[in-house]
């Protein structure tokens, strides 16, 4: 019998005779993915050692994982070591006929205050056929037949604003300082006192700025934007924020006055702003958690200024080849005197 050699593992070829029952005739081995070949290596190693604990230690896997795949493994079908699709066997489909849709619309317009459950009952009584309430809901949503027109109009305008926002995924990022500055914020507590720290960082050079305020009103973020704009000598081309209310109204007006295109992260997608998220973590670990937090904004901002100078001028950054941000792009060496001239209350 001729055997097809499988992928070499740990200096040895895995011989199917270790795994398959004696005398079994098989077809040429199927093409397996990299993950499936590794799982086959688990089975081969366990077959030779007869020791589950040793196998798990050798491959760095848990016993639970090994038993899961051992139970699933079929020597006659190596495809059993492939991942199975997690897609549900059945999914709901839009199966409302035109006649059903017309009838639901007629009932909804007549009983505008009724919910989907009541409308489904009325439909069954009127037309003698069962109808699920979720189909009624789909028709209501499709035609926007809601009872509160003002509320619906507000929601419509909000959706329109969200659709008109420029998303950060639409921007092609260029490798130069000032091309994109990302903004975010932190909420900190001093006993029962809440304070807000706004952060901004140049995505390319990693030059960063931060400042504490008493609230997260948009006038504070507007003040923060102007200070950071001065810090970078006005060389900001685009800005990025999340969709929070603090980055609306006054902040939007300040961005328009400075002629800065404003891009937004996608909702509930912190990975759209990884550079500032990482800076927030550094700020917490290397400054706030070392006993520098105080509820006094002026005192905190003075301490924060000293740390930011250290961060921008002296702290090595791994992503910059272990260079400080200022050294990485030295022409932006003009740094704002960050001591506050005034702090909004």
Decide if 260 is inside a domain: yes
Both tokens of residue 220? 């504070």
> Which tens digit of pLDDT belongs to each residue from 176-201?
889 999 999 999 998 888 999 999 99
> Per the structure, how many domains does the chain have?
3
How confident is residue 212, by pLDDT bands cut at 50, 70 and 90?
very high
Q: Are residues 188 and 327 in the same domain?
A: yes
> Which tens digit of pLDDT belongs to each residue from 215-274?
999 999 999 999 999 988 888 999 999 999 899 889 999 999 999 999 999 888 889 999
Q: What is the pTM of this model?
A: 0.55
Decide if 341 is inside a domain: no
Q: Are residues 224 and 248 in the same domain?
A: yes
Q: At what angle do helices 63-72 and 34-49 cross, to 10 degrees?
A: 100
Confidence check: pLDDT of 86 > 90:
no
Tell me, what's the pLDDT at 316? 93
How confident is residue 83, by pLDDT bands cut at 50, 70 and 90?
confident
The residue that leads in pLDDT, 334 or 312, is 312
Decide if 62 is inside a domain: yes
Residues with Cβ < 8 Å from 166, sequence gap 6 or more?
Answer: 261, 262, 263, 264
Tell me, what's the pLDDT at 24? 53
Tell me, what's the pLDDT at 13? 46
Q: Are residues 34 and 70 in the same domain?
A: yes
> Which tens digit of pLDDT belongs to each residue from 267-285?
888 899 999 999 999 999 9
> Average of pLDDT values for 314-334?
81
Residue 327 is part of which domain span?
A: 169-332
Tell me, what's the pLDDT at 34? 85
* CA 43 to each of CA 73, 82, 121, 209, 328: distance values in angstroms, whole numbers, following the listed order: 8, 13, 57, 54, 51
């Amino acid at each position: 019998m001729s055997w097809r050699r499988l992928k070499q593992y740990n200096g040895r070829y895995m011989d199917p005779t270790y795994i398959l029952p004696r005398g079994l005739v098989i077809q040429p081995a199927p093409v397996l993915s990299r993950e499936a070949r590794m799982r086959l290596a688990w089975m081969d190693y366990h077959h030779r050692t007869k020791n589950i604990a040793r196998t798990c230690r050798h491959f760095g896997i848990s016993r639970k994982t090994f038993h899961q795949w051992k139970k699933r493994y079929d020597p006659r079908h190596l495809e059993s070591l492939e991942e199975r699709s997690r897609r549900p066997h059945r999914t709901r489909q839009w199966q409302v006929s035109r006649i059903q849709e017309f009838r639901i619309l007629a009932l909804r317009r007549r009983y505008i205050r009724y919910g989907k459950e009541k409308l489904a009952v009325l439909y069954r009584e009127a037309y003698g056929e069962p109808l699920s309430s979720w189909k009624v809901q789909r028709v209501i949503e499709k035609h926007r037949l809601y009872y509160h027109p003002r509320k619906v109009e507000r929601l419509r305008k909000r959706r329109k604003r969200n659709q008109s926002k420029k998303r950060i995924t639409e921007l092609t990022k260029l490798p130069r300082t000032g091309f994109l500055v990302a903004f975010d914020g932190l909420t900190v507590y001093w006993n029962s006192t809440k304070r807000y720290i706004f952060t901004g960082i140049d995505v390319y050079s990693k030059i960063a700025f931060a400042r504490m305020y008493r609230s997260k009103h948009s006038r504070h973020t507007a003040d923060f934007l102007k200070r950071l704009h001065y810090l970078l000598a006005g060389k900001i081309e685009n800005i990025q924020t999340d969709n929070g209310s603090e980055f609306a109204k006054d902040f939007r007006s300040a961005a328009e006055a400075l002629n800065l295109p404003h891009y937004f992260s996608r909702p509930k997608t912190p990975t759209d702003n990884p550079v500032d998220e990482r800076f927030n973590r550094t700020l917490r670990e290397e400054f706030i958690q070392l006993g520098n937090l105080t509820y006094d904004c002026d005192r905190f901002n003075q301490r924060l200024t000293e740390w930011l100078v250290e961060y921008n001028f002296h702290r090595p950054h791994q992503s910059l080849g272990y260079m400080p941000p200022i050294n990485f792009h030295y022409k932006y060496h003009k740094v704002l005197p960050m001591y506050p001239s005034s702090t909004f209350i």
